[in-house]
Structure 1
Amino acid sequence: MSEAASGGESLLFLTDEQLRKGIEAMFFAYRGFTADPDRILDGMDYGRAHHRAIHFIHRSPGTTVNNLLSILGVTKQSLNRVLRTLIDDGLVESRVGRVDKRERHLFLTPKGADLERTLSDAQRARMRAAYRAAGPVAVQGFRQVLEAMMDPDQRRQYQTLKEGGA
């Protein structure tokens, strides 16, 4: 039996030790994945919440505040604090809804788009290097594992984004 086949079979019976190693690998990978944006944001008095808001506003221009709340899974108070800073600093623009005047639609300004590009370029470089090192089969398996870890609501939101929707 090949090493790949035996490795796959052994995954059917995961030990606590194998799971611990996976948890720790994910922890350190996340630290690496966020390290570059953290360094960029450090001198700007922004944190990961700002980065996530910028990312998803870029991903879905015109998204509503309520949709962003749903995607980020944060409190309204927390998001409002982040958005207020981004708007005041000229990175995000909030526009009143055309159909429903109570809605606020969010867009990156050119300055916000520049910051988003800088942050994403750093993460894309890290992801590209890791994907190339791991190979296409591992990349597909990695995505399958990540999607399987998502709660059903999160998976639906992810699928909507993946398909180019809101």
Structure 2
Amino acid sequence: MTDVNFSDSTSLTAPGGPAEDRMPIDLIELLFFAYRDFTSDPDTILAEFGFGRAHHRVLHFVSRNPGLRVTDLLGILRITKQSLARVLKQLIDEGYILQEPGPVDRRERLLTTTPLGQDLAERLTRLQARRIQRALAAMPEGSHEIARQFLYHMIDPDQRGDVARLIEQS
């Protein structure tokens, strides 16, 4: 496998602008292509079930956080109730997710994956984990932590603490 050396010519600088104004076009485009391929593996399987990426995200976070409240899922995904309702209804109706009232506040809705939902979530996660493992295997020692820090710092600063806690809990 050959590594590509991206030169500074892939970053754009405003005419006459300082180097700190340079835009990392190479990284922007690499993120677009990486995301395309990262999601393409699960997309193929999801299509077999009539599901899309929204279903995948719901399955992922519910499987990693059994008993997740619907309100917390809305915060994680940053989508409207209306958007979630359609996807969640389909996953519940088809037996991938269970929705139960909270033990204290019966208005709360708690989500868990069924065995069918857990199996699908794990299948999709394995596909994406293999892609990440292949990429990290081609990188120098310590790249996992560098990639982890890079992605963490791509998250809005006011959300980083919540994301770190969610990942630790899962």
Query: In which range does the TM-score fall when normalised by the shorter chain?
Result: 0.7 to 0.9
Which amino acid in structure 1 is aligned with residue 159 of structure 2? Answer: Q
Matched, 1:26 2:37: no
Give the aligned CA root-mean-square deviation in angstroms.
Answer: 1.7
Shift of 1:138: 2.4
Which amino acid in structure 2 is aligned with residue 118 of structure 1? Answer: R
Which amino acid in structure 2 is aligned with residue 99 of structure 1? Answer: V
Shift of 1:77: 0.4
Cα deviations across residues 21-44 of structure 1 (Å, max 9, x unaligned)? 000001100111101000111121
Q: Unpaired segments of 5 or more residues in structure 2?
A: 1-18
More helix by share: 1
Cα deviations across residues 32-58 of structure 1 (Å, max 9, x unaligned)? 110100011112111000000000001
Matched, 1:140 2:145: yes
Shift of 1:152: 2.6
**Distance in 2 of aligned mates of 1:52 and 1:66:** 15
Cα deviations across residues 104-145 of structure 1 (Å, max 9, x unaligned)? 000000000110111011001111111111133222222212
Name the % identity.
46
Which amino acid in structure 2 is aligned with residue 116 of structure 1? Answer: A
Q: Unpaired segments of 5 or more residues in structure 1?
A: 1-12
The runs of 4+ residues in structure 1 deviating greater than 4 Å are none
Matched, 1:98 2:103: yes
Alignment size in residue pairs: 153
Which amino acid in structure 2 is aligned with residue 58 of structure 1? Answer: S
Structure number with higher relative contact order (C-alpha < 8 Å, ≥ 6 residues apart): 1
Matched, 1:122 2:132: no
